Chains A and B, each alone.
Chain A
Amino acid sequence: MKIRTILATTTAAVTFAGAANAEAHAEAMTIGITQNNVGVDSYQTTYERAFIEAAEANDMVETVVLDAGGDVARQIAQVEDLIQQEVDAIIIWPTNGEAVIPAVRKASQAGIPVIVTNSNIAEAGFDFVASFSGPDNITQGSRSAEIMCDRFKELGIEGEARVVQISGQPGYTTAIERAQGFEERLPEVCPDVELVETQPGDWNREKSQQVMEAFLVKYDDIDGVYAGDDNMGVGALNAARAAGRAGDITFVGATNFAVGYEAMEAGDYWGSIYQSPVDDAEAALQTAIDVLNGEEVPFLNYFDTPKITQDNMSEFTKPVF
């Protein structure tokens, strides 16, 4: 991709050198992206594919697609490379919300607008960011709390239910915000439901399964499990199934995965938040294009992530990841 992009840019430069019209050259924009860790999960893999497809469909856009492989140092070097290549805008999926701020500042000082995608950088860096494009994770957490509470009301246990939470990787912004949204909203909608314990599942199905096994030993009465994403939610479901207690528990996740969708079809898993990596990627690209075209773009440019439960799942296509 990178080589082809450089080739394309060279060809374009040659063409335009011969043409008197310099304006056409100014209109073609080069957008660089450095992603977090493509391939570590299906979401990020699908995101990259969707991003490249969306960019290819747009004649006015050339892209330089990079991936940091989860490594902060490599991501900082990639941002510097993109500055050297004088791209028109940089999209960054931060490997770490704090550590990338100096690199983002450098880009911003070089006059290159930076768009943060998927999960935001820390507030200290907001001055150097043109726009954030991604899901609103706090809202996702609150929506999961509402899904859980509504289900408890249907079951008539909203006065006594006990919930455990399996959160994402400690220190990761998405994990912290989803937990925060859930923990703040739950007592508002269901004041009598008790969140008895939170432990991290590190976005990992196997780890989540182990955590749930310990919860099942520790608590004789669990009515609900909130997992920071469906991958971990299904891990928890597996543990409860093995212990023969899956039927007593309402499972609610976030980022609906194909496995979560299937478990919902089977009636084992109650609900989640529908977040499409395709929407995520397209929103990031569009935000970058809008910024470059000088349009008004809100600083926090969220795309919608609706609730999905067994009741309304027919309105959604099964996630591809």
Chain B
Amino acid sequence: MATLDRRQIGSVLAKQGILIAFALFMIAFTAANAKFISVENVFSVVRSSAILGVMALGVTFVVISGNLDLSVGSMMSFSTIVVLDLHDKIGPALAIPAMFAMTLCLGAFIGFLVGYLRLNSLIVTLGMLSAIHGLTLTYSGGQNMDIADKEGTWFSVFGQGSALGIPVPILIFLALAALLGLVLARTPFGRKVYAVGGNGTAATFSGIRRARTVFTCYLISAGCVAIAGLMQASRSLGSQNTVGQGLELEVLAAVILGGASLLGGSGTIFKTVIGVLILGFIQNGLLLIGLPFYVQFVVTWIIIILAVWLDIAAKRGRLLSPIA
């Protein structure tokens, strides 16, 4: 009886290796500085992680479908710059849908190349990373964008507002996570995404329209990027052209950290959220400890690799690879 219990506990733990890692880091950082766990700090970390987080939600779909999206960072710069520029030209009520339309067009273009033309997603999105950066610079002429009247616009609500005492970016992040989590886990479309990523050929033979599924994943990713850009623009009401630069790798790290496989076919929205939070809390925790920043670069990634190892080790039930 006792052994059975232990096995049950073991199998529960094995599925939640990343959660255990998360809990361990939280305890360690709190021990180092009690302010780490204060409501104020937790809100501030989740609020700043929300932008990265929303992008990671979309990329989770792309990764589960067996593809990559490295263009999200420069696409986020694009949507931020566009919405800030249009805000002063046509007003926020029109600027937001216009920006969404433009960003979705970019997503549709990538989805077309990867889905319908079956081009390699790494090359396509790596190329789009540069191309969209160029597009942003061409659009803005390289100038920083700033909203002229920063006090008198309701546009700031998406990044700075709060409802029921909770900052709006957190609400957007959680609501979107819940929605996309349901789509992925509970709808036919979600099952198609797993099927296409798990075994594309088998999916095709079972009547799933693979190209359309991949296309839709990139549309979802672009939609998430547009929301992230909106939050970013609203948070600082001004931006340089490189605001999203490098975020694509952090987003991918969060998704993989959450346990999605780069080969496709596995991953969940919930685990991506945990991956995002781990990244955000590590960076904040190291700041609060006050490590010199040259050391922080090293320590951040040591912790991330440690977390991935804990996750894998829990799944295997042993620390080393069985083959090692």
Contact = CB atoms under 8 A, between A and B. Distances in A.
- Whether chains A and B associate is yes
A42 interface: yes
A218 B287 contact: yes
B236 interface: yes
A209 interface: yes
A205 B44 contact: no
B102 interface: no
Contact of A235 (B144, B236, B284): B236
A142 to B, nearest CB: 22
A206 B287 contact: no
Contacts of A204: 240, 242-243
A44 B141 CA distance: 11
Contacts, number: 84
B294 interface: yes
B58 to A, nearest CB: 19
A249 B293 CA distance: 24
B191 to A, nearest CB: 37
Interface string A20-41: 0000000000000000001111
A214 B146 CA distance: 25
Dominant secondary structure of chain A at its interface with chain B: helix
A200 B293 contact: yes
A257 interface: yes
A235 B240 CA distance: 12
B236 A45 contact: no
A180 interface: no
A210 interface: yes
Interface residues of A, number: 32
Interface string A187-231: 000000000011110001110011101110110000000000001
B144 A206 contact: no
Interface in A20-72: 38-42, 44-45
Interface residues of B, number: 31
Given A217-B41, A231-B144, A321-B144, A205 B236 contact: yes
B236 A238 contact: yes
B239 interface: yes
Interface string B48-59: 100000000000
B12 to A, nearest CB: 34
Contacts of B243: 204-206
Contacts of B137: 39
Nearest to A48: B142
Nearest to A209: B236
Given A213-B48, A217-B44, A45 B142 contact: yes
A206 B235 contact: yes
Interface in B238-277: 238-243
B294 A214 contact: no
26 contacts: A39-B137, A39-B140, A39-B141, A40-B142, A40-B240, A40-B242, A45-B141, A170-B294, A200-B293, A205-B236, A205-B238, A205-B239, A206-B236, A209-B236, A214-B284, A217-B35, A217-B38, A217-B44, A218-B35, A218-B288, A231-B240, A234-B238, A235-B236, A238-B235, A238-B236, A259-B144
Interface of B: 33, 35, 38, 40-41, 44, 48, 137, 140-144, 146, 160, 232, 235-236, 238-243, 283-284, 287-288, 290, 293-294
